[in-house]
Structure 1
């Protein structure tokens, strides 16, 4: 995204101002962020000053000082432990930042004296006070629990650390007509191939970008998704129409290593660029919903369910470990609901 951000004071409150040339696509993205506002006097969009938003724009986190010496040593031990468990680089980064913010909050207290009551204090005086989301809090809890498994001399009872009550949020789904408009709005063959492959196989963003040339098996009409979330391999059926599209794309671009590469041969296409491609396609399609790339995956699962595909197969195709994760799509599928006649029609 072509934007920049800085911390401002607006009506006595710290806010994050976002600067960009007028662009309906970017405005839609900003509007979708909870707490976003337009300042008529300053002529700028601004957001609540939270760590989640700071991280989004690459700004220093609210808790950006260093923990105590003892805390820094235990953090490094934590990093080594995560690596030995073969967590992904992105997961290690997330957990390290979360553990660091927790230790900085208690920087004047030795790690081995921190108790479960301190965890509750942190949730109230940092997470809730700064109005951070339940999902962010859940991420913090995961990091704290893992961190304290590496601290031998501790007062914290890991099993007793509670998670926030899970929000019952339905996945966002586009109709088949809307998906078609988005995919057909892209005339760049490379961009179109990326979006079509995501929808046709229900891929996560990182899964698409980690595909290599030999992961497309044209003889068996399958896509091999290697070491996806949870370090799991899986396969997905490859649409014959998408295969033809990929062949046209390959002839035009000749990628060397990755299926989709950036401007430099052999280098992976960036996540940020892929997000921009999708946002441009949504804007060109005339869709005003605050759609994100992940909506294509949600839509794929829901459309499969509505066409009669067994939920167990959808679970396998999406790479879900638990059936309950896949069952959420039954709540957004309209196929069965459309068969129900409203009593209003009989009045």
Structure 2
């Protein structure tokens, strides 16, 4: 009997161990390994012989291809990790720069647009999944990995296991959202995963599947505006709508699971309603007539 299992390269194994020891998620580990492999293939060099010069040349080639700053930085971060921790070449790391990324304001939907998108989503499963994504301010991966056991009807909370930064947190569930989830459970009777994959009940829905259906719903709802609308836009909209409703930004920080308040503060820049509701101190001056 032939064995299809290929032995893992010792250097790759060491890199995986380095990443595991430093708490990188499985998804991040795959991304890092792919980045190192792509660099070595492009430069035609063995991983153990990789240098800062190789990494710099590779990153320049990515820039020349017109790839985004985020993509280039993801490769740079992986290569810096490999050089520093796996190859022990800390002195080379500073020669592999991370580009300064221009921070763009996120696209935010109105409440009416969110309602239209959810209403035209294909089927109860996706209407429920999008409702939870917006209603609890979840990331795509957090929605996809929800389990039935994560719902706590008594405390009206949703347990988010190993969110971004590998931290657990609890999200608040509104009475209406509880009803939506209850209706889905009564119809589908999911056993383990709240939103099982189409390929089988033992696997959760993929973020790609969820994002694809969201994009279809956006198109069906006839929403067309400047900027890219993605599934993450629901989370941006959730945060902005809370801010407009007067919820303290530090509370929103906890609800979103942000480690830094600075990350949450971007929503103060995207809400036109907040600006409209601010009264100018000029209006509170004693009555004067500048024409006099």
Q: TM class, shorter-chain normalised?
A: 0.7 to 0.9
8 Å contact from structure 1 (residues 305, 330) kept in 2: yes
- Report the Cα offset of residue 280 of structure 1: 2.5
> What value does the CA root-mean-square deviation take over the aligned residues?
2.3
Post-superposition Cα deviations, 1:123-182, rounded to whole Å, max 9, x if no partner, equal 32x121111110011101110111012344537432453210111211111111111111
The match for 1:287 is 223
**Local SS of the residue matching 2:265:** helix
**Structure 1 residues 308 and 337 mapped into 2: Cα distance closer, same or farther (>3 Å)?**
same
**Structure 1 residues 129 and 186 mapped into 2: Cα distance closer, same or farther (>3 Å)?**
closer
The match for 1:345 is none
TM-score, structure 2 as length reference? 0.84
Post-superposition Cα deviations, 1:234-254, rounded to whole Å, max 9, x if no partner, equal 111101101111111111100
- Please say which of residues 151-160 and 235-244 is displaced more in the overlay: 151-160
**Structure 1 residues 198 and 118 mapped into 2: Cα distance closer, same or farther (>3 Å)?**
same
Greater RCO (CA < 8 Å, at least 6 residues apart): 2
Looking at structure 1, the residues matched to 44 and 153 of structure 2 have their Cα atoms a distance apart, in angstroms, of: 56
The match for 1:48 is none
- Are 2:128 and 1:183 equivalent residues in the alignment? no
Looking at structure 2, the residues matched to 219 and 300 of structure 1 have their Cα atoms a distance apart, in angstroms, of: 23
The match for 2:103 is 168
1:77 pairs with one of 7, 11, 14: 14
8 Å contact from structure 2 (residues 14, 86) kept in 1: no
- Are 2:51 and 1:114 equivalent residues in the alignment? yes
- Report the Cα offset of residue 79 of structure 1: 2.5
The match for 1:150 is 85
Post-superposition Cα deviations, 1:183-241, rounded to whole Å, max 9, x if no partner, equal 22237222211111000111011101111111111111111111111110111110110
The match for 1:252 is 187
Larger strand proportion of the pair: 1
**Structure 1 residues 123 and 255 mapped into 2: Cα distance closer, same or farther (>3 Å)?**
same
TM-score, structure 1 as length reference? 0.71
**Local SS of the residue matching 1:243:** helix
**Structure 1 residues 328 and 141 mapped into 2: Cα distance closer, same or farther (>3 Å)?**
same
Larger helix proportion of the pair: 2
Looking at structure 1, the residues matched to 197 and 68 of structure 2 have their Cα atoms a distance apart, in angstroms, of: 33
2:147 pairs with one of 212, 215, 223: 212
8 Å contact from structure 2 (residues 51, 92) kept in 1: no
The match for 2:208 is 272
Aligned residues: 269
**Structure 1 residues 276 and 121 mapped into 2: Cα distance closer, same or farther (>3 Å)?**
closer
Unaligned runs of 5+ in 2: 1-8, 281-292
**Local SS of the residue matching 1:128:** helix
Unaligned runs of 5+ in 1: 1-71, 343-347
8 Å contact from structure 1 (residues 174, 299) kept in 2: yes
Q: Which runs of 4+ in 1 moved over 6 A?
A: none
1:102 pairs with one of 14, 19, 39: 39
**Structure 1 residues 302 and 164 mapped into 2: Cα distance closer, same or farther (>3 Å)?**
same
1:300 pairs with one of 229, 233, 238: 238
8 Å contact from structure 1 (residues 183, 196) kept in 2: yes
Looking at structure 1, the residues matched to 46 and 130 of structure 2 have their Cα atoms a distance apart, in angstroms, of: 50
